[in-house]
Structure 1
């Protein structure tokens, strides 16, 4: 089996990718800013990154931050991978990065282009939003008694473990270029997702649909971040909520 480096290997997705790869018999190195022995800030690169990539056949690039720096991190990673003779770079991106004009999405699209032009064998998988992210957004919106929801927006949350399974499969194979998107099993209105979240957490809120302005909102409202033709995920949002919150809603 090959030696595989997982960037962001202590994060929500990277941790699961690491587990899946080890279950498949691969030697896996976990790279993050604090995890020894491969503690590296990709935005800075340096000799520690070269050391982490020595003898690595495949890189699964899960590290990402909405606070910025993804393009520099990817450029440093690609340069080090080329020096190390790495054969395959697998990158996880987001459905809609080319259709929703938002800063973080633009950075993800720019990284996709860096990967494609890297000179390495490459694979890019785009996924819809994880259940965890949708839940966190709803948690923040539900803090006041009145819960505002962007009017006319839907989402297609996907189980992070299913994305990890797919990434591990891709990392064990040959470079495949841009592969089909991975979307959650259902396209749901934000209102229906909010009601499911409130029921699961035992909260009561007044839901208010709020029209917003701007190109990013228009992109979400028109479904640029959705992949209804790739609704291949299995675990629904309600199943995720039941696993996370148990019967908390039933006790309220």
Structure 2
């Protein structure tokens, strides 16, 4: 039996990963700011040494769009070094080295810290989860007109599929960068919005809005996509069907 620490273990991905690992018979420690007995704020690092002691693998899922990822990674890496943890697994995002988006830059910086850490490491990049696309569309649908980024497509993937792959990686030897994971289809935002409206029974007109800047240009160019690695199985419509059961 392997002892695996999952940071961000109460989030969407971390929770699914924890369930999968425990079902496979592994001992799992869930680390988050409020999860006992390993309630740790990675940005501060207090209590981290006890959490990583005796761990065979760390899967680093914790992240924040509000910042602090690099500081958290430095603390985690140092604790892993001190404890002699043989394998650190990190979940990143497809395109972090191609799209100059602030959150992506932070994810790429964490990748570099891990790559230069001296630890055994594996990094998996995935496209956006179905859950994130749904959240974006739900926010847009609060307006009378759904505003969508003109010319931008996405390749959403089911979080459970990424969790299953991470569970495999966590029990293997460190392999560095592993092949990316992309959702089964590249879809335009109008297509995704129309699928959401059909599933939710809502009606909204769609308005494509052209934005300015290098980040938007790179998104339009598909820097966040990986069509050659469309390995996901669950489509966005199938995901929506699970969230919006058919009405009578």
Q: Same fold (TM over 0.5)?
A: yes
Alignment-derived partner of residue 60 in structure 1: 59
Q: Which runs of 5+ in 2 are unaligned?
A: none
Question: How high is the TM-score relative to the length of structure 2?
Answer: 0.99
| Secondary structure of residue in 2 paired with 1:124 | strand
Residues 8-19 of structure 1 correspond to what in structure 2 (within 5 A)? Answer: 8-19=8-19
Where 2:54 maps in the other structure, the secondary structure is coil
Deviations 1:36-63 (CA, angstroms, capped at 9, x unpaired): 00000000003x1000011001000000
Alignment of 1:60-79 (within 5 A): 60-79=59-78
Shift of 1:74: 0.3
- Alignment of 1:166 onto 2:165: yes
Q: Specify the alignment match of 2:213 in structure 1.
A: 214
For 2:45 and 2:214, locate their aligned partners in 1 and report how far apart those are by CA, in whole Å.
Answer: 34
Between the two proteins, the alignment pairs up a number of residues equal to 248
Taking the aligned partners of 2:30 and 2:161, their CA distance within structure 1 comes to 20
Match for residue 35 of structure 1? 35
Match of 1:192 in 2: 191
What's the counterpart of residue 143 of structure 2?
A: 144
Deviations 1:144-170 (A, max 9, x none): 121111100000000000000000000
Q: CA deviation at 1:22?
A: 1.0
SS in 2 for 1:137: helix
Distance 1:194 1:216 in 2: 22
Q: Where does residue 134 of structure 1 map in the other structure?
A: 133
What are the Cα deviations for residues 72-107 of structure 1, in whole angstroms up to 9, with x where unaligned?
000000000000000000000000000110100000
Runs of 5+ in structure 1 lacking a partner? none
CA deviation string 1:123-158 (max 9, x = no partner):
000000000000000011111121111100000000
Runs of 4+ in 1 over 4 A off after TM superposition: none
Task: Quote how far apart the aligned CAs of 1:192 are.
Answer: 0.2
For residue 89 of structure 1, give the secondary structure of its aligned residue in structure 2. Answer: strand
Q: Normalising by the residue count of structure 1, what TM-score does the alignment of the two structures yield?
A: 0.97
* Cα RMSD after superposing both structures: 0.7
